[in-house]
Amino acid sequence: MLRPTVLSLLLACAVSLGSAAVILENGMPILWAQTASQVTDLPSQNSVLTPDPWNFLHRMSLYRLMIAATDPFLGSMGTNATDSPIWGLPLQLGWMLTSGRLADPTGATTCGKQTGDTKCISPQSWWGCVNYFASALPFMSAAQQGLMGAGVEVQMQVPEGVTDYCTTYATCAVTYPDVMSKWDAFFQGLKAASESPLPENEKKDSLLGLYWEAQMASSYASSACSARQSHYSAAEVSFSKNWQNSAEYVAAAHFHSNLENSAMFITPLPSRILQDGDSAPNIADLSEAENHTLYIFSWINSINSLLGGTVVRMWKSAMCSVSTREKGRDMLGQLLLNPGFATSTFLSIIGEMTRGC
């Protein structure tokens, strides 16, 4: 968790920069009030749950149900009802919706468009595809681990003619074994942690480690979505790759992706799909905060590429203990949300932290 003084600074910076992404509604993820509050609210057939992950409200419901089912095991995260690390995912999905990234990028349908079904998630959307691995797959794992009730089975709906998404725990475990085993490990770890004698801060760090291992497994497996990037501009594709690469740093630092922390990092993401010619930090119709975030994402990826992947390796090496991961989380916040934080400082501090491991 960011220290209060740092958190206050970053919130002030984020507000002063301005932002455009709409991800909250009455303090909760957008359209949260319209989502399923219990498993029985989901459609079912022959006693098998059959949610439609191509409907925004259904996909958001998967997150709401996972949060409710895991909260009893997450006391080490804090005392607030929004301290679960899973909160970052519904906020991210909300940003994808309001920024137009879940709509059909091919133009062949009106799925997700203002002129069509605004809550439709297109199977052709790269963003919707990537998010499927971080929503449908963990939900199926949670159900398999008994968190949705004893013996509950899940069969995800799939649009007619779409064949490249796994829709049951069994098929996903065969196609993406690492993803399912990592999410299984996270959900099993929750139960074990509730009985662990470890201090709360170590318990929290351990659970966040399991959570981010699962998240990164989902991210790596979503390379299956790469063909869908051909529907977007070079600027959007570049951003999408930088966005995915940034997760390497966040995961290694065991970022506590509760609602408050996640909102700070997701709010300044670009509020529309990038077009050819968009070049941060000089995109006229995006806020200063959005331009700064795009610039930093690009800078981190560029410097890492120039140095042959050294920066990511150094960062992961530096995140060697509970204390260095805490420092790492603070530094990521400074880098992304405080324009006065020099990029050169980031590199020098990484070097110092690595030597301390």
Which pLDDT tens digit goes with each residue over 138-195? 999 999 999 999 999 999 999 998 999 999 999 999 999 999 999 999 999 998 998 8
Helices (H), 71-199: 88-98, 126-132, 136-144, 169-175, 177-193
Kindly state whether residues 189 and 295 are assigned to the same domain.
no
Instruction: Provide the 8-state DSSP code for 28.
Output: E
What's the average model confidence in pLDDT over 34-43?
A: 97
What's the pLDDT at 33? 97
Kindly state whether residues 158 and 242 are assigned to the same domain.
no
What's the pLDDT at 217? 98
Mean residue pLDDT of the chain comes to 91
What's the pLDDT at 20? 60
CB 36 within 8 A of CB 42: yes
- Would you call 69 helix, strand, or coil by DSSP? helix
Kindly state whether residues 43 and 84 are assigned to the same domain.
yes
Residue 342's pLDDT band, with cuts at 50, 70 and 90, is: low
What's the average model confidence in pLDDT over 95-109?
A: 97
CA 272 to CA 293: how far, in whole Å?
14
Asked if residue 18 has pLDDT above 70, the reply is no
What's the average model confidence in pLDDT over 18-32?
A: 84
Kindly state whether residues 15 and 27 are assigned to the same domain.
no
What's the pLDDT at 249? 93
Kindly state whether residues 15 and 29 are assigned to the same domain.
no
Asked if residue 307 has pLDDT above 90, the reply is no
Kindly state whether residues 38 and 138 are assigned to the same domain.
yes
Please give the tally of structural domains in the chain.
2
CA 296 to CA 239: how far, in whole Å?
11
CA 151 to CA 300: how far, in whole Å?
45
CB 51 within 8 A of CB 61: yes
What's the pLDDT at 167? 98
Kindly state whether residues 103 and 192 are assigned to the same domain.
yes
- Tens-place pLDDT, residues 204-223: 999 999 999 999 999 999 99
What's the pLDDT at 102? 98
Of 117, 129, 65, the closest CA to residue 93 belongs to 129
Asked if residue 237 has pLDDT above 90, the reply is yes
Kindly state whether residues 190 and 112 are assigned to the same domain.
yes
Of 177, 219, 201, the closest CA to residue 88 belongs to 219
| Alpha carbon separation from 269 to 2, 14, 66, 233, 295 (Å, rounded) | 20, 11, 25, 17, 11
Kindly state whether residues 85 and 5 are assigned to the same domain.
no
- Would you call 125 helix, strand, or coil by DSSP? coil
What's the average model confidence in pLDDT over 19-35?
A: 89
- Tens-place pLDDT, residues 274-295: 999 999 999 999 999 999 999 9
Of 186, 181, 187, 190, the closest CA to residue 210 belongs to 186
Asked if residue 14 has pLDDT above 70, the reply is no
What's the pLDDT at 260? 94
| Domain membership of residue 286 as a residue range | 1-21+233-357
Supply the pTM of this predicted model: 0.91
What's the pLDDT at 126? 98
Least confident of 14-23, 135-144, 154-163, 300-309: 14-23
Considering 194, 214, 229, which residue would you say is the last residue of a domain? Answer: 229
Considering 170, 204, 229, which residue would you say is the last residue of a domain? Answer: 229
Could you please report the per-residue DSSP string of 228-288?
A: GGGGS-HHHHHHHHHHHHHHHHHHHTT----HHHHHHHHTTS-SS---TT--TT--TTS-H
- Would you call 161 helix, strand, or coil by DSSP? coil
Kindly state whether residues 172 and 294 are assigned to the same domain.
no
Kindly state whether residues 56 and 147 are assigned to the same domain.
yes
Residue 56's pLDDT band, with cuts at 50, 70 and 90, is: very high
What's the average model confidence in pLDDT over 109-134?
A: 96
Residue 12's pLDDT band, with cuts at 50, 70 and 90, is: very low
Kindly state whether residues 136 and 239 are assigned to the same domain.
no
Q: Are strands 28-29 and 24-25 parallel, antiparallel or unpaired?
A: antiparallel
Token digits of residue 43 = 């459609």
- Would you call 29 helix, strand, or coil by DSSP? strand
Asked if residue 7 has pLDDT above 50, the reply is no
Asked if residue 327 has pLDDT above 50, the reply is yes
- Backbone phi and psi for residue 180, each to the nearest 5 degrees, phi listed first: -70, -40
Considering 198, 229, 260, which residue would you say is the last residue of a domain? Answer: 229
Token digits of residue 247 = 């997760």
- Would you call 169 helix, strand, or coil by DSSP? helix
